[in-house]
Structure 1
Amino acid sequence: MKTPYEITKSLYNKAICFLEKPTKEIFIGGILAGIFVSLAAVTSVTVCCDMNSYFGNGFTKLIFGIVFSLGLILIVLSGSELFTGSNLYIVPIYKNKKYIKKLFTNWILVYISNLIGALIVIYLILHTGIFDDKSISTYMINITKSKLNLTISQAFIRGILCNFLVCLAVRVGESSDEVSGKIIGFIYVIGAFVINSFEHSIANMFFIPMGIILGANEGIYFSWQTFILKNLLPVTLGNIVGGAFLVGTVYYIMHHKCFCNENKCTELKNNRSDKYGDFTA
């Protein structure tokens, strides 16, 4: 596995690649990522819709988290572009200010394309008949209700904690060169954010609009304005804080001197191996 220093260096190099990617590639990758997250969301709902009465709330959330990790697995292994993961790519601006405009341009592009992907899945799923099952539609409506009942500060803080964990999941996955190691890392860390009901802006682009549509069919009316202003906006800002600053920036501060100086990094690694044994091989 990679050392923490090597993980930071690898993600820095990926950040440069992200900032230099053609617009078309980012846009298509963003649509695919929105589709993958939405498919993970509807799969999780279908699996867990009637579990609570049999297995309890805790176990149901555990299974929901495990199934939902499908989204990040597909995104990372297919090379798609997820807004929350791209928050890690803030770090090159600390070395070169020329990337600032490109960073925000690409973030906006990924965000919009993720939304398009979510809307595509909403349209398709509504025409599959899946939500004709009352237990599935009721579960989705209840998820939407709980998300829209959050205060702005709750949504913001849950957004921070969510992307703190999502970006840590990316780091954990980056540590392994084996697909199996990446997947195991994703499941544990993504599961933690789902189990604790933290808020993911891209997932909410699927959950809440779908719940609003299903609710309207049942005579339950949710506000689109509440969705945008009280959930999506504060959650998005929280995701940026949690991913860009609490993970990307923090690890850059910790490690950038090391990966900018390969001799120093090798010396630190050798010193650690002498003291603790070479557990990084």
Structure 2
Amino acid sequence: MSYVKPADLIGTVIDAGASKVMYSTQDTMVRSIMGGALLSLAAAFAVTVATTTGIPLLGAVLFPVGFIMLYLLGFDLLTGVFVLTPLAWLDKRPGVTLGGILRNWGLVFLGNFIGAFAVALLMAIVVTYGFSTPPNAVGEAIGHIGEGRTLGYAEHGAAGMLTLFIRGVLCNWMVATGVVLAMISTSVPGKIVAMWMPIMLFFFMGFEHSIVNMFLFPSGLLLGGDFTVMDYLIWNEIPTVLGNLVGGLVFVGIPLYVTYGRPSSPRRRVSSRRARNAAQHPASDSAAQVAVAQADRATAHSPVG
């Protein structure tokens, strides 16, 4: 069957986090630049669809194509590594340190921004005919998004900042769920359907995604939006990044690890005990091989040292 049960899924999630910490600088940058670029193209596509059809829901339904493409290609987003890499550290994987995790986050942030800004510049050229005409309807829509989601929060002061942060939390609750669900099936159609649901939800609900915003707000500034770089940083990007971090860890990563990933987890204890019993009293060579495989799966992700 293509469905991967949660008790088995957590090992794959931890493996993914450990591997990302070990990437070279070049690999991390290339994968994060492409991840930011593809997601930004999807955001531009969604805004274009919503603007030209007047149906925002249709834009949200189609937006997940960018997320799906980048994850099927193995590219990285900051919102994804926020949840994957800390689990490898909690599991005490060899070579996974806090310094390595912070290095990964910094490189992915930089790469995502480069990719998103590149698409913002290219799209600004497209919607203004090389900056020779005023922005078209899509360009105007992008500019207004930037204004509403910076100055709009600032008008409410502390309450606006709290709302912005919570929208960042809720966003990465859904996005991190999509990241994990990408591994819950071994078939491409299964992965696509599983990822589609939470990504569509976050986009239509207007939650704040730090990488999407790396495209929307520079685009707004390039297209004449009435806000500043400091408005963008203080009243959107920085609180959104923090909210994304909290949302991914608190609502996805840690709950999965606590119930499925720890060596003391009931599921792990039962699986390990059954495997040992079967290995000690094999009914046949094939049964023994199955038992050993089960034991390996149950213990492969136990803390080291």
Between the aligned partners of 1:240 and 1:36, the Cα distance in structure 2 is 21
Q: Which residue of structure 1 lines up, in the alignment, with residue 288 of structure 2?
A: none
Given that 1:34 and 1:116 are in contact with CA atoms closer than 8 Å, whether structure 2 keeps it comes out as: yes
1:265 lines up with 2:271 in the alignment: yes
Q: What TM-score comes out, normalization by structure 2 length?
A: 0.79
Alignment partner, residue 91 of structure 1 = 87
Whole-angstrom CA distance in 1 between matches of 2:143 and 2:191: 33
In the alignment, the residues of structure 2 paired with residue 166 and residue 202 of structure 1 have an alpha-carbon distance, to the nearest angstrom, of 11
More displaced stretch, 144-153 vs 252-261: 252-261
If each structure's helix is expressed as a fraction of its own residues, which one has the higher value?
A: 1
Q: Is the 8 A contact 1:61 1:194 kept in 2?
A: no
Structure whose CA Rg is larger: 2
Counterpart for residue 25 of structure 1: 27
Q: What is aligned with 2:181?
A: 172
Shift of 1:34: 0.8
Query: Unpaired runs of 5+ in structure 1?
Result: 53-59, 269-281
From 120, 123, 141, the counterpart of 2:121: 123
Higher RCO, 1 vs 2 (CA within 8 Å, ≥6 residues apart): 1
1:209 and 2:218 matched: yes
Q: What is the alpha-carbon distance in structure 1 between the residues aligned to residue 31 and residue 108 of structure 2?
A: 8
Worse-superposed segment, 244-253 or 259-268: 259-268
Shift of 1:127: 2.3
User: Unpaired segments of 5 or more residues in structure 2?
Assistant: 154-159, 275-305
User: Which digits, 9 at most, give the CA deviation of each residue in 1:232-273, with x for residues without a partner?
Assistant: 0000000000112321112111111369886623779xxxxx
* Aligned residue type for 1:109: L
User: In the alignment, which residue of structure 2 is the partner of 1:276?
Assistant: none
**TM-score of the superposed pair, with normalisation by structure 1:** 0.85
Shift of residue 147, structure 1, vs aligned partner: 1.1
Partner in structure 1 of residue 238 of structure 2: 233
Q: Deviations over 1:31-52 (max 9, x none)?
A: 0001011100111111111333
Alpha carbons 1:258, 1:264 under 8 Å: kept: no
Which of 163, 167, 187 is equivalent to 1:158?
167
Whole-Å separation in 1 of the counterparts to 2:178 and 2:164: 21
Partners of 1:135 and 1:128 in 2: CA distance: 12
Q: 1:32 to 1:5 in 2, by over 3 A?
A: same
Pairs aligned (count): 258
Moved more, 226-235 or 178-187: 178-187
| Alpha-carbon RMSD | 2.3
Identical aligned pairs, as a percentage?
27
Contact persistence 1:159–1:238 (CA under 8 A): yes
Is contact 1:6–1:259 with CA below 8 Å preserved after alignment? no
Give the Å deviation of 1:133: 6.0
Q: In structure 2, what is the Cα distance between the partners aligned to 1:182 and 1:263? A: 29
1:45-194 pair list within 5 angstroms = 45-52=47-54, 60-89=55-84, 90-96=86-92, 99-129=97-127, 134-148=136-150, 149-150=152-153, 151-194=160-203
> Structure 1 residues 106 and 254, CA, compared in 2 at 3 Å: closer, same or farther?
same
Distance 1:124 1:21, change over 3 A: same
